[in-house]
Amino acid sequence: MKSAVVQLPGLNRDRDMIAALTKISGKAPITVWQTETTIPDDVDLIVIPGGFSYGDYLRCGAIAARMPVMQAIKEKAEKGVKVLGVCNGFQILVEAGLLPGALMMNASLKFVCKEVKLEVVNAETDFTRAYEKGQVIRCPVAHHEGNYFVDAETLNSMNGNGQVVFRYAEGTNPNGAIEDIAGVVNARGNVLGMMPHPENLIEAAHGGSDGRGIFASALDVIAA
């Protein structure tokens, strides 16, 4: 299982993401710069990490979503390659049209940096098989624009298709997201976007490893 981490100016969680992927798969991911127009064929998982691409100018993720590498990622996603976007990565995926909805400013108007609880709503995706449906995990968040919004009709079909993968649980919704949505997949199920940072909760030194399951699932290294 080979993974790739996308790098764009202003992303700053790429090193954390590379460390998480390396520790969990035992193999360092390759890095892909924004101007690259192809991604190697043997890559099975593409990760867009968090940060502030292009300084969050215009809208978070808007400019990054229009860089050449995103076209390559779209083509890979259409072929079924797994794509994970965390935080700014999630914002980039919705701006690129790879995921439905939009991420708006937090209802509190404040940047939130804290730990939340997530309910695993769908444990049958490529990213959540390590968990059980309904399981509640801990996960850190750090964002200013994580307030997920989608129109009622799309939301309805997403709920029906199991596209809502994570919800903030136990009253921990930090941003006002509609129906407490923290993470969603596309209809095919191979593209996941989530605001929380699972890469920052993968080992004892982080104070827990609840986020590990997302990478273990996506990298196909779930312990028996």
When asked if residue 62 is in the footprint of another protein (CB under 8 A), the reply is yes
Minimum separation from the CB atom of position 122 to another protein (A): 22
Minimum separation from the CB atom of position 210 to another protein (A): 29
3-state secondary structure labels for all residues of the chain: CEEEEEECCCECCHHHHHHHHHHHHCCCCEEEECCCCCCCCCEEEEEECCECHHHHCCCCCCCHHHCHHHHHHHHHHHCCCEEEEECHHHHHHHHCCCCCCEEECCCCCCCEEEEEEEEECCCCCCCCCCCCCCCEEEEEEEECCCEEECCHHHHHHHHHHCCEEEEECCCCCCCCCHHHEEEEECCCCCEEEECCCHHHCCEHHHCECCCHHHHHHHCCCCCC
Q: Which is nearer to another protein, 16 or 95 (CB)?
A: 95
143 flagged as catalytic: no
Q: Of these, 14, 16, 56, 95, which contacts another protein (CB under 8 A)?
A: 95
115 flagged as catalytic: no
Q: Of these, 124, 151, 170, 220, which contacts another protein (CB under 8 A)?
A: 151
Tell me the window of 32-40, 95-103, 120-128, 205-213 that interacts with another protein (CB under 8 A).
Answer: 95-103
Minimum separation from the CB atom of position 195 to another protein (A): 16
When asked if residue 209 is in the footprint of another protein (CB under 8 A), the reply is no
197 flagged as catalytic: yes
Q: Which is nearer to another protein, 106 or 217 (CB)?
A: 106
Binding site for another protein (CB under 8 A): 58-59, 62, 66, 94-95, 100-102, 104-109, 147, 149-151, 176
Give catalytic residue positions.
Answer: 87, 197, 199
